Amino acid sequence: MAWAFFRTNENYRGVKAHVLYDVELAAPIDASLTAASASEKTELRKKLKAGRLYVIDAGYAQYKLFADIIDVGRSFVCRIRDDAVREVIEERSIRDKVLEAGIKRDQVVRLGDWKPRKDLEHPVRVIEFQRPRTREDEEPERMVLATDRLDLDAELIALAYRYRWSVELFFRWFKCVLGCRNLISHSENGVTIQVYMGIIASLLISVWTVRKPNKVLLEMIAFYFMGMADEEELEAAIRRQQKHPRKSR
């Protein structure tokens, strides 16, 4: 794909999908497609809307982006580097209940040295928390989050960041279960159409089945459209998944 060169080596070619995923709706609400070399921060700036809390990973940790989000009346929670330079304005006390939630530090700070502060003059909040271990042999991981929300409890900020994983689960569903791993077209318009059609199909299936279907149910839906299963069989499969929602994860 000549339009999707990545880096200077012609062997690196790729497409990047920029997706806004609404945790409350459990659905994508906006998406765009670019070559893999395109800036994720630039694409996010195009999609900013008022009244939202953007939960973003370390790849978006740019002070100018933080300032842009604040200036237009939005909020953010973003992972930053553990060694990010910061001037402490206030050290907030941590209650026992908050300590149990893994919160280790809660500060109001100014991020960066004198030069970056030209990009981010607003004081922000930095929260350090320790992510729970998923396995006994796993080392606990400490994360540092920056946010402009001074009003929310620290454990809610950490919880908001944990919900960021839901977009990763969506991409797994989109590529592995829905079957959008392979491209049927290599033109820019063709790839864009395929991605949009995949997202539309995902939304329609979720509306139809009330929840995200698993691979077995998706196969039954495909059999129905191919005429290999009737409506009664499809409805029975949907009812089985609604009765056992854990199996759809």
Kindly give, in sequence order, each residue whose CB lies less than 8 Å from that of residue 149, ignoring residues fewer than 6 positions away.
53, 75, 77, 125, 157
Q: What is the pTM of this model?
A: 0.78
| Predicted local distance difference test score (pLDDT) of residue 248 | 40
| Predicted local distance difference test score (pLDDT) of residue 237 | 86
pLDDT tens digits for 4-43? Answer: 666 556 666 778 889 899 888 778 888 888 888 888 999 9
- Of 37, 88, 81, 43, whose CA–CA distance to 63 is shortest? 81
Residue type, 82: D
| Predicted local distance difference test score (pLDDT) of residue 249 | 39
Q: Which phi-psi region, left, alpha or beta, contains residue 212 (left: φ > 0; alpha: ψ -120 to 50)?
A: beta
Which residue ranges make up each domain of the chain? 58-163, 168-248
Which residue, chain included where needed, has tokens 């395109």?
38
Residue ranges, the chain, pLDDT below 70: 1-12, 114-117, 132-138, 211-213, 244-249
| Predicted local distance difference test score (pLDDT) of residue 132 | 67
- Distance CA(87)–CA(203), nearest Å, equals 45
| Predicted local distance difference test score (pLDDT) of residue 247 | 43
| Predicted local distance difference test score (pLDDT) of residue 109 | 94
